[in-house]
């Protein structure tokens, strides 16, 4: 019985510690990515700067594309090939790898977010 409790406690601790390794930018990018996958930006609308209009049709197109990639596996910030003023992320889905880019205003609100499928490595 004590082994079961220990195993359960370790599993819970591992789950919480896995989440805590994301920095603020990674958490924000993941929230937006999940909102797009869910085809619903309502949960992140207060994170987006005033005046940034994202057409509903565009969100639906993005959602269709990302949903076709399978489950979101990971999202990590990267400096590789990232322009000044942008935050870039290496995003892994079950089927493909993506690059996301995000920019914030002076108030910490998202002013731009975009993604594209990363080039497949040459074989």
* Span 1-20, pLDDT tens digits: 666 565 555 554 544 444 56
Residue 49 in tokens: 């700067």
pLDDT per residue as tens digits for the range 17-74: 445 688 999 999 999 999 999 999 999 999 999 999 999 999 999 999 999 999 999 9
Instruction: Report d(CA 13, CA 39) in Å as an integer.
Output: 31
pLDDT on residue 102? 98
φ and ψ of 85, to 5 deg: 90, -5
Reported pTM:
0.79
In sequence order, the β-bridge partners of residue 82 are: none
Q: Which residue segments constitute the domains of the chain, with CATH numbers given?
A: 23-117 (3.10.450.590)
User: Is residue 26 within 8 Å of residue 75, measured between CB atoms?
Assistant: yes
**Among candidate residues 104, 106, 98, the one with its CA nearest the CA of residue 78:** 98
Residue 120 has pLDDT above 80, yes or no: no
């Amino acid at each position: 019985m004590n082994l079961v409790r220990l195993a359960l406690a370790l599993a819970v601790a591992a789950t919480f510690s896995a989440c805590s390794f994301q920095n603020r930018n990674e958490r924000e990018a993941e929230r937006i990515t999940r909102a797009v996958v869910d085809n619903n930006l309502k949960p992140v609308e207060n994170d987006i700067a005033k005046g940034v209009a994202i057409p509903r049709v565009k969100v639906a197109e993005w959602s269709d594309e990302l949903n076709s990639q399978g489950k979101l596996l990971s999202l990590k910030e990267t400096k590789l090939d990232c322009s000044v003023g942008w935050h870039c992320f290496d995003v892994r889905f079950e089927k493909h790898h993506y690059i996301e880019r995000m920019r914030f205003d002076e108030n910490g609100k998202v002013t731009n977010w975009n993604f594209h499928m990363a080039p497949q490595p040459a074989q």
